[in-house]
Amino acid sequence: MSPSPYSRKIGRLQLTVVLGDITERATDAVVNAAAISNIDYAEQNRDLAWRVNVTGAENAAEGCGRINARYVFFSSDAVFDGAAGPYREQDAVNPVNFYGKTKAEAEKAVLSIYPQTAVVRISLVVGYPVTGGNSFYPSLEERLRSGKEIRYPERELRTPVDVLTLAESVLELAENDVRGIVHLGSTGSVSRYELARMVAKEMGYAPDSIRPEEADAGPGRAPRHRNGVISVERARALLKTRMLGVEETVRRSVRERR
């Protein structure tokens, strides 16, 4: 893919969303959300995942250093092994899959190259996609309409954040001087199974067709960290954007689309 950063003026900021090399000299802030984020795909395509998730992050950090731009880099709770929690920003990382390894390595690299970076760790983003992506909302709604049985892991706990709260937090980080790792998510946690049921109810469907499954079920599925519970106390202390509870997160993520 040829370099094609998307740059836009938002408030006082000239903001660039990185899709390739940083070329905008007038850029105030760079948000690097580019990633091979499908855990199973990353496990099977390690060279590509490393180039995008690690080398790309390093290149963006170096570019930001050259033009003295604010750098906001997206990471993941997959850097943790899920054996404990709730995880704080300073807790030791120990990923159980290759995707998590790339994010752990990228975090270390970008903070070494450009210490002014804000590393955003997220657990699970919920909401409808504007274009494409791997949001589970469209597929969940389609299957709810069909009445087919739906299965989600019951033992995988996550700390969801709705896409609007996430965007507001990232814009705030792009404009302030917060450095280092910041966890963004809800103030509570929920299993992927219970979350799917909550989303179904908010969409107006009976959740009866949603059934629990074991977290490690399914052929070819890369290992998952079971406990993706991250503490958002640092974000609550540093940001004006409010971190929501799980129920409010689900309501906002569904109702904004409707």
User: Which residues are the active-site residues?
Assistant: 99
Largest CA distance in the chain: 55
Chain centre distance of CA 234: 17
d(CA 124, CA 18) in angstroms, rounded, equals 21
Q: Which region holds residue 73: left if phi is over 0, alpha if psi is between -120 and 50, else beta?
A: beta
Token digits for 20?
Answer: 């390739």
d(CA 116, CA 73) in angstroms, rounded, equals 11
**127-124-116-61 Cα dihedral, nearest 10 degrees:** -90
Nearest to 30 by CA among 107, 99, 116: 116
Which contiguous run of DSSP H or E holds residue 126?
strand 124-126
Q: Which phi and psi (to 5°) does residue 71 adopt?
A: -125, 120
Helical segments of the chain, H only: 39-44, 46-50, 56-67, 98-113, 137-146, 163-175, 192-203, 233-238, 246-255
